[in-house]
Amino acid sequence: MGSIPYQTALELTRDNVIAAHALVKPHIHHTPVQTNTTLSTLASTPQSPDALKGTPWEGQEPAKPKIKLFFKCENFQRIGAFKVRGAFHAVKRLIERTEGGNHAQALALAGKTFSIPAHIVMPSISTPSKIAGTKSQGAIVHFSGSTSDEREAVVADVIKQTGATLVPPYDHADIILGQGTMALEIEAQVEELLASDADLGVHGTGGKGLDAVIAPCGGGGMLAGNAVALHGTGVRVFGAEPSFEGADDARRGVAAGSRVTSVKTLTIADGLRTPLGEINWKIISDPSYIAGLYAVTEQNIKDAMRLVLERMKCFVEPSAVVGLAVILFNEDFRKMVERESGDEGWNIGVVFSGGNTTVEAISKIFEVKEDKPAERAEGKVGRDGERVAENVAG
């Protein structure tokens, strides 16, 4: 951990993301891009008027976008999340300079790989599976309170005691560039898929590849990295956040023109409970990099997660599906796609950021009352359960 001097960091450019990919490629999985006909069909099907009751769009004509989805499955990444990309890049760069939650697990793995002791500061309320995963990589875990001030105080003590170098979880150029490597992969993978089967996309034979990518946003390292990697390519990048208890700090901050520096939320998307970092803010607040930020409710996240588990047979954590939830349930986003894409539609890359959860945690998420059969029959539970069959059929 200790501070990697910011003046030594690389510039945030696509070329440097490409260089970062070359550094980390031997140490990460080339995760798959998957498609799913049911979810693409749902994304292209208007929400029912009943589903919009009680939302900001009640009484409005539902959007009718045309969308094909391509899922970048970072839940199959080493340690079960995208964070290894930034961690390995930061540690490799740190080694070069000194020779001369998921971030914790990723940094622990990187330290183990290069035989470097890893001291990890984690909030005591961190998901048990993430704590266990971090310890299993041989890291020394130090617990802190949940606020940034409490974490920084413990970090300072660890640095004083050990002389360690701080590798931030998201707010550093080396981390951002490493996370951006997934965008290079999804861009190329979607082109390969469409070359073999043009019907997977909306544009037909000889058409373009990705039109957009949407990624979850917590501290913003992954979203900023994707934006840097795709800057100048014509692929639009969007961010997705939970709205619960102000977890949509990036969206609110950009709307107000000022970064929100503190977030206190217990959203089920626990990987997105962090305020946007300073460096990431500069990228994410720039409309030439980020085309828009959208938020969804806890119920939207649950419904999207159920669809992924049941229809894709894909094990994901709540944070991973926030982008899909935006595509399915946020009418502002859906109307924007309909307006911007015209009759042709969009191919959208959706980042599944991780799968670090447990069966017990998933069971707890779905033991709440929204699953009442009567409510499902009345169509009050989004695009879940019976509503899926009805929306696809209609």
Domain boundary among 169, 186, 211: 169
Name 57's Cβ contacts closer than 8 Å, sequence gap at least 6: 331, 332
Contacts of 273 (CB under 8 A, 6+ apart): 218, 247, 263, 265, 266, 267
Regarding whether 386 and 244 lie in a shared domain, the answer is: yes
38 and 53 share one domain = yes
Q: Which domain holds residue 158?
A: 82-169
Q: What is the pLDDT of residues 184-202, one digit of tens each?
A: 999 999 999 999 999 999 9
Could you tell me if 180 and 157 lie in one domain? Answer: no
Identify whether residues 109 and 151 lie together within a single domain: yes
What's the confidence (pLDDT) of residue 141?
83
Both 301 and 331 in one domain: the answer is yes
- Based on the fold, state whether residues 89 and 238 are members of the same structural domain: no
> Do the Cβ atoms of 348 and 35 come closer than 8 Å?
no
- Tell me whether residue 115 is in a domain: yes
Residue type, 79: I
Number of structural domains the chain divides into: 2
Alpha carbon distances (Å) from 354 to 306, 338, 350: 15, 29, 12
Q: Do 51 and 192 share a structural domain?
A: yes
In a domain, 7, yes or no: no
What's the pLDDT at 92? 82
Q: Looking at the structure, tell me whether residues 54 and 124 fall in a common domain.
A: no
Residue 217, domain member (yes or no)? yes
What is the CATH number for 102? 3.40.50.1100
CB 239 within 8 A of CB 69: no
pLDDT at residue 153, as a whole number: 84
Q: Does residue 348 lie within any of the structural domains?
A: yes
Looking at residue 295, what is its pLDDT? 98
* In a shared domain, residues 360 and 233: yes
- Predicted confidence at residue 120, as pLDDT, reads 76
Domain boundary residue, one of 169, 199, 227: 169
pLDDT-flagged residues of the chain (< 70): 1-9, 95-117, 130, 147-148, 164-165, 368-394
Residues 100 and 230 in one domain: no
| CA–CA dist 187, 381 (Å, integer) | 34
What HEC string does 304-360 produce? Answer: HHHHHHHHHCCCCCHHHHHHHHHHHHCHHHHHHHHHHHCCCCEEEEEEECECCCCHH
Q: What is the pLDDT of residue 50?
A: 94
Instruction: Tell whether 137 is covered by a domain.
Output: yes
Considering the entire predicted model, what is its pTM?
0.81
Q: Looking at the structure, tell me whether residues 64 and 126 fall in a common domain.
A: no
Q: Is 10 domain-assigned?
A: no
Q: Which of 201, 179, 181 minimizes the C-alpha distance to 192?
A: 201
Same domain? For 204 and 157 the reply is: no
| Residue 16 belongs to a domain | no
The predicted structure's pLDDT at residue 108: 58
110 vs 138, 153, 182, CA distance in Å?
11, 24, 18
Q: Which of 169, 195, 210 is the last residue of a domain?
A: 169
Per DSSP, 81 falls in state B
pLDDT of residue 321: 98
Is 241 part of any domain?
Answer: yes
